[in-house]
Amino acid sequence: MTDPVARAEIVVDLDAITHNAEVLRAVVAPAALMAVVKADGYGHGMCEVARAARRGGADWLGVATLDEAMTLRRDGDTGRLMCWLTVPGERYDDAVRAEVDLSAYSTRALDEIARAADRVGRVARVQLKIDTGLSRGGALRTDWPALTEHARRLEREGRIRVTGIWSHLVSSDDPDSPVNEVQEVAFLEAVAVAEAAGLAPEVRHLANSAAAVLRPSVRFDLVRCGIALYGLDPAPGHLPELGLVPAMTVRGRVAMVKPVPAGAGVSYGHAWTAEHDTTLALIPVGYGEGIPRAASPGAEVQVAGRRRPLRGRVCMDQLLVDLEGDLPEEGTEFVLLGPGNQGEPTAQEWAEACDTISYEIVTRLGGRLARRHVGGQPR
């Protein structure tokens, strides 16, 4: 580690982000690439990731909230940028002025956006979302004809411009799921309805990371890549080798090393008891830093170049790993997770230990962890 006093830190390799964007853009061409950087860049740092993705050729950026969109604009990003999650009553004025593409699911949202456009004297960019089966955001198919017709009226009035039609997949990580075909057909039907209403969107998009790679027929004009941008597998067991590079490493320094005798209970509730004499390392991170309490038993941490199993329950500020008799010096480096090329555990392995997905592992990490970016210089 370069900082001898770092307790624990997240290190993000921005060159990996740029590389991953280049790889994905080549895979999906001629479709454009949207780099999804919501939720603080999946825990990697939104603005830094956005700049790195742009260097890798990302044509669009995607975020969930208006705050995220405006943060990117304040950071200097002037390219195509889409925001898709708002609630009734939010003020769209700044986003319309900043030429953010806004998503609408209802005539109510369209009218709110149009009123914002009137206030700022600009034509608002709007993308209409159809619910093709996820039953989350998006207009119901029964409401879609009225929504598209209302959007066209607002276009004729010069208040909005419909720039896109989009939806989101249910089971893209399972390429054999019949739901994928059902949603693709539903999406194409929705696009036809929109075009019949007189709309001429610039982009149609349905594919997320897994579908962008595994289902070429749904690439259309634009794909939205989130987890793959960060070098993690969106469809474990299905994705071909693309050369994606995980961008996040979590590491720090061991706080304490101590022997424990056979029969000693370890951590809260004595959920684990030493079967024989062993040694433990105290790792100074816990659920206060976003480490899942469900990680033990099952997860591992690399200490002194070897993987060590978690023992006992994860605490708020710390966790314990079994050194199995070794006694490395206190202050020795630990690696909680990383790319895996040095034998360290990966985010996917942590996800499997916690019965979750790698998205959740990397996105929830933070709290008192310092975050440091490396690389990222123009090439």
Give yes or no for a contact between 332 and 273, defined as CB atoms under 8 angstroms apart: no
Beta strands in the chain (DSSP E): 8-13, 32-36, 60-63, 80-83, 101-104, 124-129, 160-166, 203-205, 222-225, 248-253, 256-260, 265-266, 272-273, 278-283, 300-303, 306-311, 319-322, 333-337, 370-374
Nearest C-alpha neighbor of 104 from the set 119, 121, 124, 122: 124
Q: How far apart are CA 164 and CA 171, in angstroms?
A: 22
Give yes or no for a contact between 24 and 33, defined as CB atoms under 8 angstroms apart: yes
* 3-state helix, strand and coil shares in percent for the chain, rounded to the nearest 5: 35, 25, 45
List, as one string, the DSSP characters of 338-377: --STTS---HHHHHHHTTS-HHHHHHH--TT-EEEEE---
Question: Which of the following is catalytic: 230, 268, 287, 359?
Answer: 268
Question: Which of the following is catalytic: 38, 42, 92, 359?
Answer: 38
Record the tokens describing residue 154, joined without a space.
Answer: 């607002």
Question: What dihedral angle (degrees, nearest 10) is formed by the CA atoms of 305, 374, 60, 290?
Answer: 50
Give yes or no for a contact between 331 and 254, defined as CB atoms under 8 angstroms apart: yes
Is 258 annotated in the active site? no
Is 268 annotated in the active site? yes
Q: How far apart are CA 361 and CA 232, in angstroms?
A: 11
List, as one string, the DSSP characters of 103-149: EESSHHHHHHHHHHHHHHTSPEEEEEEB-SSS-SSSB-TTTHHHHHH
Nearest C-alpha neighbor of 204 from the set 218, 186, 185, 183: 218
- The amino acid present at 208, given as its one-letter code, is N
- The amino acid present at 340, given as its one-letter code, is G
Q: Tokens 């009225």: give the residue.
A: 146
- The amino acid present at 8, given as its one-letter code, is A
What residues are labeled active site? 38, 268
